[in-house]
Amino acid sequence: MPVPTSRTNECGRIKIDEIRCNGCGLCITVCKDCSISLENKKAKIAATPLFGCLACGHCMMICPQEAITVEGRCTSEEHMLDVPSSEEAASYEELLNLLYRRRSIREFKDIPVEKELINKVVEAAQTAPMGLPPSDVHLLIFDNREKVSAFAKDFCEYLEGFKWFVSKWFLALMRPFYGKEYTSFLKSFVRPCVKAFTGFMKRDINIVNYDAPVGLYFYGSPYIDPADPLIAATYAMLSAESLGLSTCFIGAIHPFIQNGKAAKRFREKYGIRYKSQGGIFLLMGYPDVKYKKTIKRSFAAVDWR
């Protein structure tokens, strides 16, 4: 039975050229769906796969004989590329330097980001892994400052209707259902956020998305692993950095536009196709500030077992 996503409801179709197959078994090693088995020293389509081919393409990509093709689920032989050599790829030090150079930037130069660069970032983000192929990440691009700012204004107007959600009486009522930690998060972070977003916007100061030159909203369909849009956005963030652009995640929009009729209307207005468990905005543009130092950070815990 195929695993559905918003894009597909079929299994991948694996084709094996028996003449080319040399029975090395690499395709069987990498296929975790057990879609392929070895019979008489030849790879064959297995009768009882785990889910049905997800079209991850691993069997096709690893075959030294180019004897396998996978079609369907938005995958095809035509999508295969040569693997870049390790010399062409970034070294650990180069990558670490890029990571240390990155800062969340909220002060952007008022110059547009070239469409070519936006496309490059999108291409890089599309290399991100996903819970289940094919990716069910949806991307909404606001490609200039006017559009980004107009969205923030509209969002703040929409938020005005949301104030009851973080009001004293509502949080007191919901405390037994929300629990201590979530209630305190709503009180100490979300309530001031709503107040600040709407209050500042009334004075024409945009602290929702800081009038960035580009806004990228990554979200998913109801089928998706909620982590997928965040991982894709992280790839976008790092590739933008490598192109001399700066970025900032904005997590404070997505949760507000998920539930209820007003949220649905708001989503529809922007062509946002789904409410989604996971989603995030990424601002992008040329930085108008330069940091002198970077910073070493730590996780809450790193436990070795």
Ligand X SMILES: Cc1cc2nc3c(=O)[nH]c(=O)nc-3n(C[C@H](O)[C@H](O)[C@H](O)COP(=O)(O)O)c2cc1C
Subset of 94-123 contacting ligand X (CB under 6 A): 103-104, 106
CB of 250 to ligand X, least distance (A): 4
Q: How far apart are CA 239 and CA 121, in angstroms?
A: 6
Interface with ligand X: number of residues (CB under 6 A): 8
Q: Is 17 or 107 the residue whose CB approaches ligand X more closely?
A: 107
Cβ distance 148 to 212 under 8 Å? Answer: yes
Of 46, 250, 263, 282, the one binding ligand X by CB under 6 A: 250
Task: For the beta carbon of residue 39, count every other beta carbon within 10 angstroms.
Answer: 10
56 binds ligand X (CB under 6 A): no
Of 165, 200, 223, 249, the one binding ligand X by CB under 6 A: 249
Q: Is 197 or 266 the residue whose CB approaches ligand X more closely?
A: 197
Check residue 203 and report its DSSP letter: T
Q: Is 58 or 138 the residue whose CB approaches ligand X more closely?
A: 138
Q: How far apart are CA 28 and CA 39, in angstroms?
A: 11
Q: How far apart are CA 133 and CA 33, in angstroms?
A: 12
CB of 233 to ligand X, least distance (A): 9
Q: Is 223 or 249 the residue whose CB approaches ligand X more closely?
A: 249
Structure tokens at 264: 């649905």
With CB atoms as reference, the residue minimizing the distance to ligand X is: 251
Provide the CA 55 distance to its chain's centre, in angstroms. 20
Cα-based angle 156, 280, 117 (whole degrees, multiple of 5): 105
CA distances from 154 to 143, 150, 168, 218, 269 (A): 17, 6, 25, 19, 10
Subset of 252-271 contacting ligand X (CB under 6 A): 252
54 binds ligand X (CB under 6 A): no
222 binds ligand X (CB under 6 A): no
Of 132, 232, 248, 263, the one binding ligand X by CB under 6 A: 248
CA distances from 151 to 110, 116, 279 (A): 17, 23, 16
Interface positions with ligand X (CB under 6 A): 103-104, 106, 248-252
